[in-house]
């Protein structure tokens, strides 16, 4: 691309220079041709020597200045590139030189000068309206950058220890939801000094990251990178290119942690992977969507961000996917959008764009997913998080307080992994999580039961998951909401729990639950905590619907069972009133079941008031446990 840039600009200016010096093959022209040939052969030192000798005698020989500018562009000496572009501009009124000066100025963060040169280019160049729009966008970038530097956001990056960072490049950090597992990419060199990317893993112990070790089950002699951990740290999605089982140039793969080891990676398959470029996955904490960047047809620009619904594992461990969907105009542009990251709250979304208004190169942006699945207008994360360079690979902790990213800056050893505290107004809503261990109440053997989680503020917002082969399930939910939690499996009574989440729980203080599912037999009971009534009333509230429907399904699937619906209260208030209220509430539940098609002869409703507590009434939590609806099997 850089070579093309030189050829186009040089050919554009060639007429002017030869007009100034005549058409004959003079000595100076031959000397310039010699310099040009050195440059084409990448013999930059000789090319610089020849071109400099020309300018010493003929400072108005514009082509020599432009050649030197291009050489310094190629070797990333932007200051010298600007020097020779300015020399050329002294003797040429070609507008393309102004444009190149503006671009170089942006690279060094010289935004004021860049604006002047962009405007000069607009005024003098004969360009299309589309080109004018693009240049005006670049001017807007410069104006944004000037203002952003006057109003910086809080940013004090801290380099992670030598247990993570080495003399090699480390980047693309991925954090598990419990914030105790870190996976990252390291660029290492083999015995032949050929670099390739591998994965490394570290654990947080006593507030210190352990010495990172390679993930030998996944690493190969080829490149593996741009990875994403599932919330429980048991699935790793990542990018690999040019594999024999690939669909396109770069594909997304996955590995599962089984028995403490990572499985052999598999291609996630279509329709996620295609003949195009798919990379940089981010897996939502509810296991619902895989976000990724792709240049597949149907996008808005170059690389767009897409997502595909994760529909579980099918036969042979293959993943079932929904059709990928483009994230739309709030995220994607005519440029390139890469590096997606969905926070554990499944609301705050982060990505990098080289087209949205920013500091230059790829900037980091944030957006919010709305209740209808669309995204809010993107916001630049500000300076100095964003700079004149390229920023990407952001990962934010589940509690919303800390961000992890990679950068090459003073005090580091190449590209290293850093962390910084997000300022309060930028923090995503924190999440907590529940780790549930599900076993048979009699044998204590693990059960791969189905779990359902329902937001009681919006009962249509629900998700389901299945415990792994060890009976363990891992669920994330935002702090501040109330949830109904049900666990079910054929042959067992279902389990009911309520999560009333204020700020008392955090990601460092999660719920840990051992659930013993009771086999269906006479005398077995299940306590239901997600059936709600109006205060001092037996009128059932709408948020009870998921739990009641679960009970209807259970009784429908077990049509021979006869059950006793029991109402229970705590000891607050008058005991007689509590007794009567519990009976009316039990009857309300029975009536609901009858309306849903359960035969009335299968149901018995009884109120026990405060007489059968399952916990102390001396604490708030104990009283909550005592206020319940119980279903007891009385006949088969």
CATH code, domain carrying 127: 1.25.40.10
225 occurs within a structural domain: yes
213 occurs within a structural domain: yes
Lowest mean pLDDT among 87-101, 140-154, 282-296, 475-489: 475-489
22 has pLDDT over 70 = no
Give 269-311 pLDDT, tens digit per residue: 999 999 999 999 999 988 889 999 999 999 998 999 999 999 8
Q: Which of 474, 501, 519 is the last residue before a domain boundary? A: 519
Q: Which of 409, 426, 443 is the last residue before a domain boundary? A: 426
Query: In this predicted structure, what is the pLDDT of residue 9?
Result: 42
Say yes or no: 531 and 410 in one domain: no
What band does 16 get if pLDDT is binned at 50, 70 and 90? very low
**Integer Cα distance of 337 and 282 in angstroms:** 14
159 occurs within a structural domain: no
Number of structural domains, the chain?
Answer: 4
Chain centroid to Cα 12, Å, comes to 44
Say yes or no: 178 and 34 in one domain: no
Query: In this predicted structure, what is the pLDDT of residue 510?
Result: 75
Entry pTM: 0.82
Q: Which of 519, 540, 562 is the last residue before a domain boundary? A: 519
Query: In this predicted structure, what is the pLDDT of residue 25?
Result: 44
30 occurs within a structural domain: yes
Say yes or no: 609 and 629 in one domain: yes
Say yes or no: 268 and 280 in one domain: yes
> Mean pLDDT over all residues of the chain?
89
157 occurs within a structural domain: no
Which domain, by its residues, includes 561?
A: 521-636
Say yes or no: 10 and 124 in one domain: yes
Say yes or no: 174 and 275 in one domain: yes
Say yes or no: 108 and 250 in one domain: no
Q: Are strands 213-214 and 195-205 parallel, antiparallel or unpaired?
A: antiparallel
Give 33-50 pLDDT, tens digit per residue: 999 999 999 999 999 999
Give 339-375 pLDDT, tens digit per residue: 999 999 899 999 999 999 999 889 999 999 988 889 9
Give the CATH number for residue 484: 2.60.40.10
Closest C-alpha to 144, from 350, 351, 392, 360: 360
Say yes or no: 208 and 343 in one domain: yes
Give 233-277 pLDDT, tens digit per residue: 889 999 999 898 999 889 999 999 888 889 999 999 999 999 999
Say yes or no: 239 and 385 in one domain: yes
35 occurs within a structural domain: yes
Say yes or no: 220 and 357 in one domain: yes
222 occurs within a structural domain: yes
| Two structure tokens written together for 124 | 């003098």
Give the CATH number for residue 590: 3.30.1330.60
Q: Which helix (H) or strand (E) holds 121?
A: helix 111-124
Say yes or no: 238 and 110 in one domain: no
Closest C-alpha to 417, from 167, 162, 155, 171: 171
What band does 505 get if pLDDT is binned at 50, 70 and 90? low
Query: In this predicted structure, what is the pLDDT of residue 14?
Result: 38
588 occurs within a structural domain: yes
DSSP sequence for 538-599: -PBPGGGHHHHHHHHHHHHHSTT-EEEEEEE--S-S-HHHHHHHHHHHHHHHHHHHHHTT--
584 has pLDDT over 50 = yes
Say yes or no: 326 and 348 in one domain: yes
């Amino acid at each position: 691309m850089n070579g093309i840039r030189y050829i186009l600009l040089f050919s554009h200016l060639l007429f002017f220079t030869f007009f100034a010096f005549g058409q004959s093959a003079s000595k100076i022209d031959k000397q310039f041709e010699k310099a040009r040939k050195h440059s084409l052969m990448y013999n930059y030192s000789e090319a610089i020597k020849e071109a400099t000798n020309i300018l010493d005698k003929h400072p108005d020989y514009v082509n020599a200045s432009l050649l030197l500018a291009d050489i310094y562009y190629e070797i990333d000496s932007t200051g010298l590139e600007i020097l020779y572009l300015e020399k050329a501009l002294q003797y040429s009124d070609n507008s393309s030189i102004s444009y190149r000066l503006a671009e170089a100025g942006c690279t060094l963060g010289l935004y004021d000068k860049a604006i002047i040169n962009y405007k000069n280019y607009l005024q003098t160049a004969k360009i299309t309206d589309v080109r004018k729009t693009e240049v005006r966008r670049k001017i807007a970038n410069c104006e944004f950058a000037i203002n952003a530097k006057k109003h910086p956001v809080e940013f004090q990056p801290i380099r992670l220890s030598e247990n993570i960072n080495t003399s090699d490049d480390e980047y693309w950090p991925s954090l598990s939801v419990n914030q105790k597992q870190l996976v990252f990419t390291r660029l290492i060199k083999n015995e032949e000094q050929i670099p390739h990317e591998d994965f490394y893993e570290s654990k947080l112990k006593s507030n210190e990251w352990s010495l990172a070790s390679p993930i030998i089950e996944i690493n190969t002699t080829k490149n593996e990178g741009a990875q994403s951990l599932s919330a429980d740290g048991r699935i790793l999605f990542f990018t690999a290119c040019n594999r024999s089982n690939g669909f396109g140039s770069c594909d997304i793969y996955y590995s599962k942690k089984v028995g403490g080891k990572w499985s052999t990676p598999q291609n996630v398959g279509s329709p996620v992977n295609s003949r195009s470029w798919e990379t940089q996955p981010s897996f939502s904490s509810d296991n619902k969507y895989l976000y990724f960047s792709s240049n597949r047809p149907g996008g808005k620009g170059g690389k767009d961000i897409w997502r595909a619904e994760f529909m579980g594992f099918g036969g042979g461990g293959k993943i079932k996917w929904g059709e990928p969907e483009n994230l739309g105009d709030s995220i994607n542009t005519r440029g390139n959008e890469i590096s997606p990251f969905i926070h554990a709250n499944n609301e705050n979304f982060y990505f990098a764009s080289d087209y949205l208004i920013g500091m230059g190169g790829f900037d980091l942006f944030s957006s919010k997913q709305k209740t209808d699945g669309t995204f809010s207008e993107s916001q630049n994360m500000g300076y100095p998080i964003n700079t004149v360079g390229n920023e990407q690979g952001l990962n934010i902790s589940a509690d919303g307080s800390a961000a992890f990213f990679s950068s090459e800056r003073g005090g580091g050893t190449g590209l290293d992994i850093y962390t910084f505290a997000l300022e309060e107004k930028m923090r995503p809503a924190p999440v907590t999580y529940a780790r549930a261990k599900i076993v048979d109440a009699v044998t204590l053997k693990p059960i791969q039961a189905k779990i359902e989680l329902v937001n009681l503020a919006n009962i249509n917002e629900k998700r389901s998951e299945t415990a792994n082969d060890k009976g363990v399930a891992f669920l994330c939910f935002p702090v501040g909401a109330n949830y109904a939690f049900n666990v079910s499996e054929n042959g067992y009574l279902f389990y009911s729990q309520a999560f009333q989440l204020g700020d008392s729980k955090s990601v460092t203080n999660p719920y840990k639950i051992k659930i013993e599912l009771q086999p269906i037999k006479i005398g077995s009971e299940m306590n239901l905590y997600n059936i709600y009534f109006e205060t001092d009333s037996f009128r059932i509230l709408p948020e009870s619907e998921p739990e009641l429907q679960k009970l209807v399904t259970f009784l429908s699937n077990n049509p021979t069972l006869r059950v006793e619906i029991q109402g229970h209260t705590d000891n607050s208030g008058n005991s007689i009133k509590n007794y009567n209220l519990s009976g009316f509430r039990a009857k309300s539940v029975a009536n609901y079941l009858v309306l849903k098609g359960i035969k009335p002869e299968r149901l018995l409703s009884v109120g026990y008031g405060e007489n059968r507590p399952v916990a102390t009434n001396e604490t708030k939590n104990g009283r909550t446990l005592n206020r319940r609806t119980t279903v007891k099997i009385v006949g088969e």
